[in-house]
């Protein structure tokens, strides 16, 4: 009988350790997602800066400019821009439609409100003179910079909060199991 009790205790301790570790890792992942959002917004700013250069100095098609900006940006922003460039090469719609299609087909963080500047900009790309497009790109970059700063503040604020919440929740579950 003592062996059965020892095995039961070890099983409970193993379950408790798994509960604490699982909940803690979930908290760490949630905090990491906030950091990734800020990094991705930074990639969008880099991409738009490259796009601004291509449009203002280069004499290339918009699809080529988007592809070059995608190469500079990397990450999800680069994949989305590359997808939009491919759609433009294949003449699947206006630049705005191609960017929106790329955003829908390659979901990820950031989305929605944080990238509203990109959606607004996409409607202006290819629809006016290069100087007007550059002005719209600069406005979008300023909006994205504000969104990036807010995302960095959130990431900094939640960097300790979410892991702590995760581990404490795991500890509460472990205590309930014991």
Residues 39-74 have pLDDT tens digits of: 999 999 999 999 999 888 877 888 899 999 999 998
Confidence (pTM): 0.80
b/e 60-73 (16+ beta carbons within 10 angstroms → b): eebbebbbbbbebb
Q: How far apart are the first and last CA of the chain?
A: 19
């Amino acid at each position: 009988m003592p062996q059965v009790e020892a095995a039961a205790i070890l099983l409970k301790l193993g379950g408790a350790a798994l509960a604490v570790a699982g909940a803690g890792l979930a908290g760490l992942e949630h905090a990491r997602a906030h950091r990734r959002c800020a990094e991705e917004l930074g990639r969008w700013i880099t991409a738009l800066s490259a796009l601004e250069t291509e449009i203002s100095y280069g004499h290339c098609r918009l699809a080529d400019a988007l592809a070059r900006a995608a190469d500079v940006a990397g990450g999800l922003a680069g994949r989305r821009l590359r997808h939009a460039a491919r759609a433009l090469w294949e003449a699947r719609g206006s630049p705005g439609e191609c960017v929106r299609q790329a955003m829908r087909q390659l979901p990820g963080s950031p989305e929605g409100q944080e990238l509203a500047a990109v959606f607004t900009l996409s409607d202006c790309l290819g629809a006016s003179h290069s100087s007007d497009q550059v002005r719209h790109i600069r406005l979008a970059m300023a909006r994205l910079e504000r969104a990036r700063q807010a995302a960095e503040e959130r990431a900094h604020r939640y960097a300790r909060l979410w892991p702590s919440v995760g581990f404490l929740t795991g500890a509460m579950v472990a205590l309930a199991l014991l």
